[in-house]
Structure 1
Amino acid sequence: MMKNKLVMIMAILLVAITLVGVIAVVVVMKFTGEQSKPKEPTAEEVVAASVEIPEITTNLASGDFIKISFTIQTDSEKAKTELEHRNFQVKNIIITELSEMKSEELKGKAGKEKLQESLKLSVNTLMQEGKIEKVYITSSILQ
């Protein structure tokens, strides 16, 4: 009688310990698996969500002028469509931003990166269906 109770208690403890171990493994796998870094979009996905802004020629604050074109990467097809509809607003933002800059500010890498980030932030204020991921300068001639 006593031996059966002892075997029963040991079996219950063994099942309980196993159950706790399985739950712990599932929880650890769930949290470490899903919180991995989101994968980078493929080249095809980037192209499918990007809008080209044709060459714009405008004056700079320093009296020089610039010919520049961009490709703007969005986060979705919906955002791309919205950006295409807002093309005139985007051109206005670009021209306005450039009109405040001097040619010296646009000569180096840091200046171009600053312009890209500034345009990204400004255009994102317009967006309702998504957001701008990155602004790329695709051509630039400073004269």
Structure 2
Amino acid sequence: MKNKLLMILLIILVSITLVGIVAVVIIDRNTGEGSAEKAPSIEEIVEASVEIPEVTTNLASGDFIRMAFTIQTDSKKAKKELEQRNFQVNNIIITELSEMKAEDLTGKNGKEKFQLTLKEKISHLMQDGKVEQVYITSSILQ
């Protein structure tokens, strides 16, 4: 009788342990490193980026500026849409710059603020994705 009781307890203990191990493995796979987003590689960034050719326009202060941009999107589909909306992007850039003074674009903080403004306005325009980052690739202020 003791052997039967001991055997039943041992089987129950092993069963509970196996169920626990399976549960831990399942939870780890669903919430662990496998589902965490990894940073995109440079190849993925380039594949999802659109180059905006140099834009020349007057600033509100009477100066003029030439700027070129690369806009990183979140997918190839968003890149394709952004390429088709190139004229709208140029319009956003020109209208934003026309309201700015030369002092607004001097220094790191001014450029970062302008990049953030462009990112928000262009993302709002997008339907098939969003803008991840706006890079200024060329800038001449005169």
Regarding TM over 0.5, the answer is yes
1:96-115 correspondence runs (5 A): 96-115=95-114
Residues in 1 aligned to 2:100 and 2:43: alpha-carbon distance in whole angstroms:
34
1:9 corresponds to which residue?
Answer: 8
What's the counterpart of residue 58 of structure 2?
59
Measure, in 2, the Cα distance between the counterparts of 1:70 and 1:33. Answer: 34
CA–CA distance in 1 between the matches of 2:45 and 2:114?
Answer: 21
Structure 1 segments, 4+ long, off by >4 Å, are none
1:117 alignment partner in structure 2:
116
Q: Percent identity?
A: 67
SS in 1 for 2:40: coil
RMSD: 1.5
Deviation at 1:15, TM superposition (A): 2.0
1:63 Cα shift?
A: 1.0
The two structures have a TM-score, normalised by structure 1, of: 0.90
Consecutive unaligned residues in structure 1, runs of 5 or more: none
Letter of the structure 1 residue corresponding to residue 123 of structure 2: N
Q: 2:25 & 2:109 partners in 1: Cα distance?
A: 47
- Map of 1:84 onto structure 2: 83
DSSP 3-state at the match of 1:109: helix
How far apart are the structure 1 equivalents of 2:42 and 2:35? 24
Q: How many angstroms apart in 2 are the aligned matches of 1:12 and 1:18?
A: 10
SS at match of 2:32: helix
| TM-score normalised by structure 2 residue count | 0.91
**1:137 paired to 2:136:** yes
How far has the Cα of 1:17 moved from its partner? 3.0
Give the distance between the partners of 2:2 and 2:13, measured in 1 at CA. 16
